[in-house]
Amino acid sequence: MAVTIRRSKITGSLSLTPLIDVIFLLLIFFIVATNFSEKESEIDIELPSASQAMPLTSQPAEFVININDKGQYFVDGAFRQPEEIERVLQSKAANNPLTQTVVIRADRRVDWEYVSTAFDLCKKAGIYEYSAVMEGE
């Protein structure tokens, strides 16, 4: 016995009304948004010129503090007292307030207290981008 299936005409057609409504709403949204952005640039102002300004193209060099096995601090190959390092760090932070980084290189035999002091010097100077690298001989 053969079964006959009748297809409905309702399932064969697609209603485009909701799709057209969505397209009109998107069109209205983009027209309104475009008008707002044009109004901001229509204001007649005279902008200043900057002939000597140059964009920052590279990060400032990392400042390196070396700590030997006796707990002595070395910057640029010369022995420095913590007070001297703090003054140098403050000047570095003033020149590069957001991008200055400090690398603290410590001998593996040094007490952690000396590394912690270097961290405190960075915090006092306002530099929060610092890291410790522990190395041996």
pLDDT at 137: 41
* ∠ Cα 23 29 33 (to 5°): 145
**pLDDT on residue 36:** 61
Cite the DSSP H helix spans in 42-133. Answer: 82-95, 112-125
Distance CA 69, CA 107 (A): 5
Query: Can you tell me the distance from the alpha carbon of 87 to that of 127, in angstroms, rounded to the nearest whole number?
Result: 12
Residue 84 has what pLDDT?
94
- Looking at residue 77, what DSSP letter applies? T
Rounded CA separation 79/73 (Å): 6
To the question of domain 63-135 being in CATH 3.10.580.10, the answer is no
The model's pLDDT over 104-119, given as tens digits with 9 standing for 90+, comes to 998 888 888 999 999 9
Q: pLDDT for 5-56, tens place per residue?
A: 776 666 566 778 888 999 999 999 888 777 665 555 565 666 666 666 666 5
What pLDDT sits at residue 4? 77
pLDDT digits 0-9 by tens, 56-66: 555 667 889 99
Q: What is the pTM of this model?
A: 0.55
CA–CA–CA angle 119, 122, 64 (5° rounding): 85
* Cα–Cα distance, 25 to 16 (Å, whole number): 14
